[in-house]
Amino acid sequence: MDSDKIATIADVRGLEARVHRFVSPPPLIRSYALEKKLKISASRRVWLKDYGWTPTGSFKVMGALGWMSTYDAVIGQRPVAACSSGNFASGLAFASQKFGKRAIIVMPDSAPRIKFDLTRSFGAEVRTYDISRDHLTGERERMTRQIAEEENAVQASPYDNNAVIAGNGVGGLEIVSSLTAMNRGLSHVVCPVSGGGLLSGIGLAIEDAFPNARILAVEPEHANDFQQSLTAGHRVSLEKPESICDGLLSYEVGEHNWPILQRCVSACETVSDSQVRSAMAWIYQHHGLRTEPSGAIAIATLLAGRVSFDGDGDIVAIISGRNIDEAVFGDFIR
């Protein structure tokens, strides 16, 4: 896969069997409660693509497996290194374990305990940094580069890489396959965006199979670099994004992700942290699912009522992950 070119649907299809060798497709779950809430016609359905069912509780394992299977021969006996807020950390740790690699992950010291535990459970070494000062010190990137140099490690990006994008796109193929098997159409996909690894991968699959579907990005109101980027027509970087959505705090979307997002995404909405908390409580009440804030943000957009979901196809909302400490989850939904 040429790292200098834009990822394509062919790249996604090329990784489908390799990703599914280790991870079964997460389910597409019908939400009768959201259908009622949105008051859509009886011929339409709302589906939740729930990545909480993956072995790491998040979509990030798909991209990590895509990256690892692509660069396996290049890595050889060298370790791999990456920085992550937590979900790519456990995803890369899982992929490293499956391919017999040593993984060294840089994580913020404030990451949820469950994300530390998951990452270490797959055999990775974790090193931490102070995220509150990273916008001033650049410690996250510096530490990761230092590991790559001192350990002769191959550095992986959580999102800004074609193999990661294509691996995540396998989830989009799963959505297409499920809907096609049921002879369903698609009008909207609602998906979180941060660095853009998930959204660009999903976008490649959706635009290929359902070119008329609207792809709606969602991000926190105080971490809206992508929304600003769409308005400006170029990538905008934020100095210090802030939100309870710890998985959606990248400073800007990736260089490899941007051309795909600019082409595929119809619009970008933002929601507040309080709306995210309400969505977490709503999902738990109506579906019994414990989601992390980043995972609930697409549902928050549907519940906010600001977006028109007119059309005659189905709606798919992405639940990107479930990794949140139980006590914190309880505090948030109260």
Q: What confidence score (pLDDT) does residue 131 get?
A: 87
Are 142 and 176 in contact, with CB atoms under 8 Å apart? no
Helices (H), 76-112: 87-99
pLDDT for the residue 112: 94
C-alpha–C-alpha distance, residues 284 and 288, integer Å: 4
12 Cβ partners below 8 Å, 6+ apart? 166, 169, 170, 172, 173, 201, 204, 205
Secondary structure (3-state) at 100:
coil
Instruction: Write the CB contacts of 8 (distance below 8 Å, at least 6 apart in sequence).
Output: 204
- Tell me which H or E stretch contains 126: strand 125-129
Angstrom CA distances, 22 to 54, 63, 123, stand at 10, 12, 17
2, pLDDT greater than 80: no
pLDDT band at residue 3 under the 50/70/90 scheme: low
- Per-residue pLDDT reduced to its tens digit, 193-247: 999 999 999 999 999 999 999 999 999 999 999 999 999 999 999 999 999 999 9
User: Residue 37 and residue 282: Cα distance in Å, rounded?
Assistant: 11
Residues sharing a CB contact under 8 Å with residue 256, sequence separation 6 or more, in sequence order: 3, 6, 7, 160, 161, 162, 165, 200
